[in-house]
Amino acid sequence: MTVPLTQTLETRTNEVTEPAGSAQRMRVLVVDDFDDAREMYAEYLEFVGFQVEVARNGVEAVEKAQGAPPDIILMDLSLPVMDGWEATRRLKQDLRTRDIPVMALSGHVLAGNAEQARQAGADEFVAKPCLPQDLEARIHRMLKPSKAKSRP
């Protein structure tokens, strides 16, 4: 029966994405050349309350991030035109975008890839495929304000 699932998702969505006093939705840039993955993550994140932009390659990702900086970027590493490694490097070298957290996503989980992603500037590395709800939890952890930034 789907009604309880829908009710559960709606209840969960309201609990997770609408903190008290929060009027503005967090913006996520989802970068992936694979249509199904990009659409699945984008649709799920929109469903749970994020404002989502998408890009199909590294050039689009850099341009979109520079034009309207998101709160976080989900960056596939294997991209056409400009790969995610180079796009991440460029974003982290740019004063306008260097503080945007980048979560690197890759289906090629080889020894050393996580460390290479961090060296390129990624703040987090996630092996694909990953469940959308796991991605959501990681996003919330990465966007959670630190105690140093919180109000007294």
SS3 of 22-59: the string is CCCCCEEEEECCCHHHHHHHHHHHHHCCCEEEEECCHH
List per-block mean pLDDT (blocks of 10 residues) for the chain, which spans 152 residues.
39 42 77 94 96 97 97 95 95 97 86 82 91 92 65 37
Quick one: pLDDT at residue 145?
Answer: 73
Quick one: pLDDT at residue 113?
Answer: 77
Quick one: pLDDT at residue 29?
Answer: 98
In this prediction the pTM is 0.79
Rounded to 10 deg, the angle between the 113-120 and 84-93 helix axes is 30
CA distances for 33 relative to 57, 62, 65, angstroms: 6, 14, 17
SS3 of the chain: the string is CHHHHHHHHHHHHHHHHCCCCCCCCCEEEEECCCHHHHHHHHHHHHHCCCEEEEECCHHHHHHHHHHCCCCEEEEECCCCCCCHHHHHHHHHHCCCCCCCCEEEEECCCCCCHHHHHHHHCCCEEEECCCCHHHHHHHHHHHHCCCCCCCCC
Quick one: pLDDT at residue 14?
Answer: 42
